[in-house]
Chains A and B, each alone.
Chain A
Amino acid sequence: MKHGYTGTILWVNLTEKKWWEEETDDDFASKWLGGSGFGAVTLARNTDAQTDPLGENNVLGFFTGPLTGTVVPSSGRHSVVGKSPLTGIWGEASVGGSWGRELKRAGYDGIVLLGKADSPVYLWINEGGVEIRDAAELWGLDTYQTAERLQELHPGAQVCAIGPAGERLVRIAGLFTDGKEGRAAARCGLGAVAGSKNVKALAVRGTRKPTLAFEEELKAKVREAVKRIKEKTKALREFGTPGLVIPCEQIGDFPVRNWRDGKWEEGAKSISGPRMVETVLSGRFHCAGCPIGCGRRVNITSGPYKEVNGGGPEYETLGLMGGSCLIDNLEAICYANELCNRYGIDTIDTANLIAFSIEAFERGVIGKEETGGLVLRWGDPGILIELIHQIGQNKGFGAVLAGGFKTLLNGLGPEAKEFAIHVKGMGFPAHDPRAYNSIALGYATANRGACHLEGFSHVFERNVTMPEFGLSEPLDRFSVEGKGKLVALTQNLMSVFDSLALCKFLLFGGVGIKDLAEWVKLGTGFDFTPEKLMEIGERIFNLKRYYNVKCGISRKDDILPPRILEQRRGCGGAAENLPPLDRMLDEYYAARGWDEDGIPTRETLERLGLGDFIF
């Protein structure tokens, strides 16, 4: 096996209480890279359209990349995959922290969980394999408490855990690592998949270091790159992702009042990155091996939100709890963020569902009868917090929200669809597609539903360039021509990042595909070129799409809510733009080699070496 990898995947059958190790070979690694790529092939081989996401037959996989745990910067991430109970299709969440590095040190490139334990368990994984241990005493604890308890039992271990929401099969529950720092594999409801398997947590500890093909050369390259990355990302280190709040509000990229309005200037200032630095910020942290360190710690010591002490809200949380629910109280958002982390739920879907509910209440689509007597109002932190408790505990009106948009809309009239802001059942991240045309296409075609990270194309419409792809200048964000090609290209590139399990924020540090190819080559010994990596990225993206097609996805699902396609906001930095999605989709499908209905053609699948998967 090439360097970088351990060459071993740990498989655990929870029903039969058995585990075994499977070796991977060079062919497999060079075709799928790792992380998200290993996840794609695992899901495609072990689940199908009939698999119930919360049934025993779903799989839950955790995968590192070939550079995880090495000197390569920002390489501490890993991917979690499973069929999503939120969307019913491909499900994946990439997460930072230190858990992925620890798994590699324990000797594994990944873990796959099959079946269902007959009572709550946690997995204790170390260099000797895995023990399936009773988790009765952990069941009911929040994610921070679980990590703390398991670290008492297993000093030095890294913990990935679900909270009470995952236990109660809340479909927007995630898996959380790094204890109080609250790094989250939040999206797609994969915490509920763990809960459905009765798995409370995975504690892992290891000491092995991956070998490298050309260690000294790699170190030298990395030294050079780290200098550049640090220099170019000073602002990201200083303000974290909350630094996005003010500029995104200015350029019309910020969700305001459930995506209805275009401006919220004073509100944005009061929950911004600079405001956080002046008020609640108590420290900064970074994922394993990251020279950027965008993580924020917040601490509130007095007032109604005084228990807060841990990872602070990211941009997405500030945008959606703040702008979309019109809450301009930073401390309240920090508190709500921590509650979500502790219950183990996705702040993005949580806040989207709450903003939608407030509007539905305002319009009379739902009333006190549905909300259990709650009066839902904009700008009310009390309502936000109460609904988070209800979602986390899967009770009251929160139990309706806990199913996500798909189930929520089933019970409401057609009017509700107009302002339910989701794609394929997953709520929007805090970037408005009316501010960047490419993000409209990215949300519509991302394999896991509305996702800005699967394409990350909007950064090329704003400040990032990549001359090797002909992107020497940022593109005009409102232009249409070429956006189909751009999104296909950036989705392939992001598939490479996710499969190497590297952080995409490296792009802001000037890291491009040439660096990635060089690092992988020096790390693993594979003779990868940028072109070869991009072909692998394309293969992985197409396999996920093909999986979704088999689950019934086609052009009819590659859509955006009417509000986003038809309603101009009339003010703010993108007041008049509406993304012409259909036109861009035609170009995109052509660039991908898919037919007009968005189905990958046989030729495309065979060209990418996916012939084995055609069924």
Chain B
Amino acid sequence: MKVKVKLLAPFKFCDDTAEAELDMPRNSTVRDLVSLIAERSNIDKYGRDQVMILAGNKIVGCDDLIDKDMEAWIMLQPMGG
């Protein structure tokens, strides 16, 4: 399954880009996706629990399944007032 991923500042892939299309096995979860992204980006700098993922207008949880044609926007979790 292809998943379109966009990283928002301060996150970026190791090659300095912000967008990628990643191949994920069927029945993968958002957690699996985050692990894969972590291998190729700087998202672990602040800890994975400080990442938020938006798919469409839905804030998805780590245990959610990856949907077909999902577009995932990866950003810092909003923290603060």
Chain A positions near chain B (C-beta within 8 angstroms) = 231-236, 238-241, 243-244, 246-248, 250-253, 269, 272-275, 277, 294, 314-316, 429, 452-453, 456, 461-463, 473-474, 477-478, 504-505, 508, 573-575, 577
Contact = CB atoms under 8 A, between A and B. Distances in A.
Contacts, number: 97
Interface string B10-22: 1000000000000
A414 B18 CA distance: 47
Interface of B: 8-10, 45-47, 49-50, 52, 54, 57, 59, 61, 73, 75-81
Contacts of A235: 46-47, 50, 76-77, 79
A250 B59 contact: no
Among B9, B50, B52, B79, the one with the most A-chain Cβ atoms within 10 Å of its Cβ is B79
Contact of B79 (A231, A236, A272): A236
9 shortest interchain CB distances as A-B pairs:
A241-B80, A236-B79, A235-B46, A274-B10, A274-B9, A247-B75, A244-B78, A247-B78, A234-B46
B59 A314 contact: no
Contacts of B77: 235, 247, 462-463
Contacts of B73: 250
15 contacts: A232-B47, A233-B79, A238-B10, A244-B78, A247-B52, A248-B78, A269-B9, A274-B9, A314-B81, A452-B81, A462-B77, A463-B78, A474-B61, A505-B79, A508-B79
A239 B10 contact: yes
Given A231-B47, A234-B50, A246-B75, A252 B81 contact: no
Contacts of B54: 250-251, 573
Contacts of B10: 238-239, 273-274, 277
Nearest to B63: A473
Contact of A473 (B50, B61, B79, B80): B61
A277 B46 CA distance: 15
A462 B59 contact: yes
Contacts of A452: 81
B5 to A, nearest CB: 14
Given A232-B50, A239-B10, A274-B10, A251 B59 contact: yes
Given A231-B47, A234-B50, A462 B80 contact: no
A577 B59 CA distance: 14
Contact of A294 (B45, B46, B49, B80): B80
Given A274-B9, A573-B54, A250 B79 contact: no
Contact of B76 (A239, A275, A315, A473): A239
B39 to A, nearest CB: 20
A557 to B, nearest CB: 24
B80 A243 contact: yes
B3 to A, nearest CB: 17
A232 B54 CA distance: 20
A280 to B, nearest CB: 16
A246 B9 contact: yes
A453 B52 contact: no
Contacts of A234: 45-47, 50
A240 B47 contact: no
A244 B59 contact: no
Given A250-B73, A269-B9, A275-B9, 16 more contacts: A232-B47, A232-B50, A235-B46, A236-B79, A238-B10, A238-B46, A239-B10, A243-B78, A243-B79, A250-B54, A273-B76, A277-B10, A429-B81, A463-B77, A504-B81, A508-B79
B59 A316 contact: no
B44 to A, nearest CB: 11
A248 B8 CA distance: 12
A575 B79 CA distance: 22
B79 A244 contact: yes
Contacts of B75: 246-247, 250
Contacts of A241: 79-81
A574 B57 contact: yes
A244 B78 CA distance: 5
B50 A252 contact: no
A252 B59 contact: no
Given A232-B50, A239-B76, A247 B8 contact: yes
A575 B54 CA distance: 14
A334 B47 CA distance: 29
A433 to B, nearest CB: 15
Nearest to A573: B57
Contacts of A253: 78
Nearest to B58: A476
Among B45, B52, B76, the one with the most A-chain Cβ atoms within 10 Å of its Cβ is B76
A356 to B, nearest CB: 22
Nearest to A572: B57
A235 B42 CA distance: 13
A272 B9 CA distance: 9
A451 to B, nearest CB: 10
A268 B9 CA distance: 11
Contacts of A474: 59, 61
A244 B8 contact: no
B55 to A, nearest CB: 11
B8 A246 contact: yes
Contact of B80 (A240, A246, A252, A274): A240
